[in-house]
Structure 1
């Protein structure tokens, strides 16, 4: 489905992403880990076409999405939804309208200016909110919700696009452990139940091991690890983070209680 080839982004004299290559041939849950500045966010922004690449290719079913322009580029951005660390909601707008903004580019400018939406779109937005367990929040302003609830609204907005791929840039970095768990459970359920590929930048090793089918480690813009969560040992983590023997995994942990974590064996059975 997805084939990234020698993807590079240069800012000035520095390569933020340096000849990154990897392929994903099924709707897996892929985690990208690495210290701040490793190039994780730039990589996702290039995939979504929010940032231009300096060189390389991103092939989806054989088509290079980096070559898309105009309406074709916007269509790709609809098929490849982006979820951000800071939610990127309209704070004073109600939750349902924020979700409907996921299809803003598909509706007339005049109608959306007056917040006029077809009944079918409104019902779909409410159905998605119900699925994510926050339907009762639909009439409230987004700013009135907790951080975890706001991130679920952002996920609902992404689902409104009906994307093939969901990119999540540090989706739990600003959340407390319990809300982080809820958000990660939600993304995993979407991956398993909908068969949508999810690629998430993560800053916590425990989260990557618990939720991901595959983990890619980046350091200084390059891929230095590509394997399964079971292969993500403490020694490998030291290499990814450029740390010495004093490296402590607790520094990258969200401390999500093990007893409330999702059953990986169950998730693997659902994916098989």
Structure 2
């Protein structure tokens, strides 16, 4: 499905991502871990084509993503939805309109200017919000919602694109443990029930182990680990974070595994 070949990004004299290679042959949930500055966000931004690469290639289902331009590039960005740590919603706009922004790549300029949406899209947006357990907030301004609710609105907006891949850049970094768990539950269920690949940058080892089928570790822009959650031992984590023997997993943990599993509305296709 997805192949990343020796992908590199340099900024001036600094190499942010250094010859990263990843092959994904089936839909899965992948966690990328590593300390701040390891290159995780730059890697996702290159995947989504928000940032241009310096060298290497990205291929998906026969398309060379790194060569796409114009409309073809926008089509890829619809197929590869991005969720950000700070939600990137329009705060003073109502929730359902924020979700409908997920259709912008498929709408005409005139429809966008006058904020015109087909009834079918409006109903679908509400159905997606219901799926994520927040349909009752559809008419509210986004700024009136809690951080966890806003992140679920951002997930709903991504689902409006009907993407094949969902990229999540530190989706729970600014959330409390309970809301972090709700958001990660939602992403996991979307992967399982929709068959979508989810690739998430994560800052907690317990989250990566609990939710991901595969974990990739980055250090100084390079991939230094690519394996299963079971292979992510404390010693391996120490190497990924470039830490000494004093390294403690508690420093990277939200302890969400100790909380009662939060419930969200059933996710369906």
- Displacement of 1:261: 4.5
- Displacement of 1:259: 5.4
**Is 1:251 aligned to residue 247 of structure 2?**
no
**Is 1:160 aligned to residue 134 of structure 2?**
no
Deviations 1:124-176 (A, max 9, x none): 10010000000000000000000000000000000000000000000000000
Instruction: Please give the alpha-carbon distance, in whole angstroms, between the structure 1 residues aligned to 2:98 and 2:132.
Output: 15
- TM-score norm. by structure 2 comes to 0.96
1:76 corresponding residue in structure 2: 76
**Residues 93-172 of structure 1: pairs in structure 2 closer than 5 A:** 93-172=93-172
* Corresponding residue SS for 2:117: coil
Distance 1:210 1:257, change over 3 A: closer
Say what the alpha-carbon RMSD is for the aligned residues: 1.0
- Displacement of 1:108: 1.9
* Corresponding residue SS for 2:256: coil
Greater than 4 Å deviation, 4+ residue runs: none
- Displacement of 1:112: 2.3
Gaps of 5+ in 1: 263-272
- Displacement of 1:55: 0.3
Instruction: Please give the alpha-carbon distance, in whole angstroms, between the structure 2 residues aligned to 1:132 and 1:49.
Output: 27
Instruction: Please give the alpha-carbon distance, in whole angstroms, between the structure 1 residues aligned to 2:24 and 2:204.
Output: 22
2:182 corresponding residue in structure 1: 182
1:270 corresponding residue in structure 2: none
1:267 corresponding residue in structure 2: none
Gaps of 5+ in 2: 263-269
- Displacement of 1:62: 2.5
1:266 corresponding residue in structure 2: none
**Residues 6-25 of structure 1: pairs in structure 2 closer than 5 A:** 6-25=6-25
Instruction: Please give the alpha-carbon distance, in whole angstroms, between the structure 1 residues aligned to 2:148 and 2:197.
Output: 22
2:267 corresponding residue in structure 1: none
